[in-house]
Structure 1
């Protein structure tokens, strides 16, 4: 049964069935938690307080904590270190990772950092010859690659998150792969590198001769949320963990940073990772909507909403056609499924919503969101919430 709440739900036109009854009818007989809120008030709740597994909607919690700590405009810095060049000559050259998940071989673009970009910056710094070798320093993060609640197959869905990453870390030795690729990129530019690429920790006291900055955090998060990238999530989670609790960044520190952020806002979350692969993460639908409401009030709220797929886009490909929605999906093989975000109501105004289900179909989630859009009517005074939600979103890619 839905909870009796003081906020009045209306109907989309005179004589229509009240929205509460329509939502109750759609939810009847299903293992589902539903919460709808608008303008700071909960307007519908069904099994609202039951802790459930958020699956990949965990990435929304990570996004909130990241934006609050660093801001959507933050860029991740990869540093190049060496003794000051003497007539263009250095001995060893170190590349120190800052946790940029977007590093790719070759040239970069608006959303990726490329090894060719790194090589160009090294040349611009005045280096003409390296008598030693290029050494990759990935010490900002620990090499951990496991979390409580991960299943035997979980690592098939996420590469090892390392402070120096390359091409999504498909290599078993990503830092060495980056040092090797950078050696080749410099040699193509006429820079002689005498030694073989290696990995290690940069010594204290050597100078930073170049800095390479990633795309803004807002762009990295938009890719993460649109494609449900577990790799980006655990990379950014380790970054958050290192910023919150000190280096080295770990999966556990990132998860704990999300817990602390939520607790400071009156919400208890059980968090073991940043990607949502853990089957033992826990959060209620009511608490998730409370955090969405908190996000709406923050200056970074628009960046969070913009990072979520719209209807038919990203992990919402083939779903909710024509519905003005921005939402994150989440799915685990246990049968847990989640859909949470914002929808513009047909009668005016915006609602936050969360649907958390077990062993149900995606069509049930979609039916509930369409019912919210069509049936929930807010009092006139609450229809003027300044919030843009379009029907388009990020480029379509499959859910992971």
Structure 2
């Protein structure tokens, strides 16, 4: 009787133990106190190849961008383009004078750049406009300024030393970043030469403290954008070798709409269109009677998503998130709710709590099983899947060099998105597809979260064991 009872217990245990064995290497992190949720399954049969607490709710960090990309493709389709316009309800006379305000209507295009403003200015010139007797008005009526939800973005309103926490506005350009170019001075000990990346005009005040060294010296640049008396200032410190190549330096702006106003005004001036009034920003929409004087279409959504996911661009992700919201002047929470509504229609996903599309918000929660359900649902949508999977990286040729590890099996048979957070706890997350040796498609995800008592976690500690586990699944299926 005792033997039969033991056999029954073993048989009951085996179906649970076998899938868990699929992540034997990654699972060792649990012994150090990290919280792990992981799952891998084949898409044709649904067979689970590995499973570790797959329904555990954890922070996905930038793996959240997979949800944003899927919801955006579902809403707009791969070929959707955002259209940005210059409009006015003022009269344009025969001499090319516009007797009133010229309004830039922000479309929420996350890829809008200086080149697009140049094309707008050129098209306005082609329309016959030579002078604006009113103001240049930047309208961010769709959304912006957007309330900050993370420490980095809130602090970035006054000072910032990074490029990833850009503030958000429907009228934002250049991923919400200023750019200046730093080149060596003409002789040692001379100040470096600093110019603006987006034209000849002085678009942002520069506090240049960079000193030129002799040829062969060490180049070490430090940059911070601070806001002084309502004006953005790029503070540059450090040294640059006399024979160093010029370097572009980016820092987020303190007011994206104001950044657009300054840049567009410079573009208008360069094409010979004089603006008599001072520029202004507004949250009001243009007049219903306003005529379109110039317009530019952005890149198709599938191209925007490639940049958003390849470079894990937080500005682009959250701009798209805001665009998905159906409420007037939405917050990031409104956009996240729209993504959650889309995910609610995915079978077997389970709970999802997003606070943004970028993943910068550490409070967001999902599960490894949920990520896999999302990936599986896109796989079965032929009209959307090519654009979706094309936005993921293959380790062997992706832009994130830290992914280039493991054998050629992992390097060339996996397409993935990663997520990283360091505060308030360490998060390393991965989700994506794989192809087995026999050509079968699979999905996998692994969410690793630290706690207040766990040690520091780096990507090597997660990717090295994960690649071993995934390689084994690929080779044996």
Match of 1:27 in 2: 27
| Kept in 2: contact 1:154–1:277 (CA 8 A) | no
Contact preservation (8 Å) 1:233, 1:274: yes
The change in CA–CA distance for 1:177 and 1:300 in structure 2 (over 3 A counts) is: same
Is residue 357 of structure 1 aligned with residue 364 of structure 2? no
1:57 & 1:305 partners in 2: Cα distance?
A: 14
Higher fraction of strand? 2
Determine the C-alpha separation between the residues in 2 that align with 1:20 and 1:51: 18
- 1:287 pairs with one of 339, 352, 370: 370
The structure-2 alpha-carbon separation of the partners of 1:3 and 1:264, relative to structure 1 and needing over 3 Å to count, comes to farther
Cα distance between partner residues in 1 of 2:155 and 2:364: 17
**By how many angstroms is 1:153 displaced?**
7.0
Q: Secondary structure at the match of 1:51?
A: coil
Q: d(CA) in 2 for partners of 1:153 and 1:94? A: 28
* Structure 2 residue 307 is matched with structure 1 residue 218: no
What is the CA–CA distance in structure 2 between the aligned matches of 1:3 and 1:97, rounded to whole Å?
Answer: 59
Larger CA Rg, structure 1 vs 2: 2
- Normalised by the size of structure 2, how large is the TM-score? 0.69
1:146-170 alpha-carbon deviations (Å, 9 max, x no partner): 23xx346776541111010123223
Q: Conserved in 2, the CA contact under 8 Å of 1:355 and 1:365?
A: no
The number of residues matched between the two structures is 356
Question: What's the CA shift for 1:318?
Answer: 4.5
After TM superposition, the structure 1 stretch with the greater mean CA deviation from structure 2, 344-353 or 311-320, is 311-320
**Contact 1:344 / 1:373 at 8 angstroms: preserved in 2?**
no
Q: Provide structure 2 residue ranges, at least 5 long, that are not aligned to the other structure.
A: 1-11, 157-163, 177-251, 451-456
Other-structure match for 1:36: 40
In 2: Cα distance, 1:330 partner to 1:3 partner:
33
Q: Distance in 1 between matches of 2:118 and 2:314?
A: 26
| Shift in Å, 1:82 | 1.1
Contact 1:19 1:376 in 2 (8 A): no
Cα displacement (A) at 1:375? 3.2
Give the corresponding residue for 2:417: 328
Give the secondary structure class of the aligned counterpart of 1:33. Answer: strand
Secondary structure, aligned partner of 2:137? strand
SS of corresponding position for 2:444 = strand
Answering whether residue 268 of structure 2 is matched by residue 178 of structure 1, we say: no
SS of the residue 1:295 aligns to: helix
> What is the match of residue 453 of structure 2?
none
Aligned to 1:9: none
Match of 2:97 in 1: 89
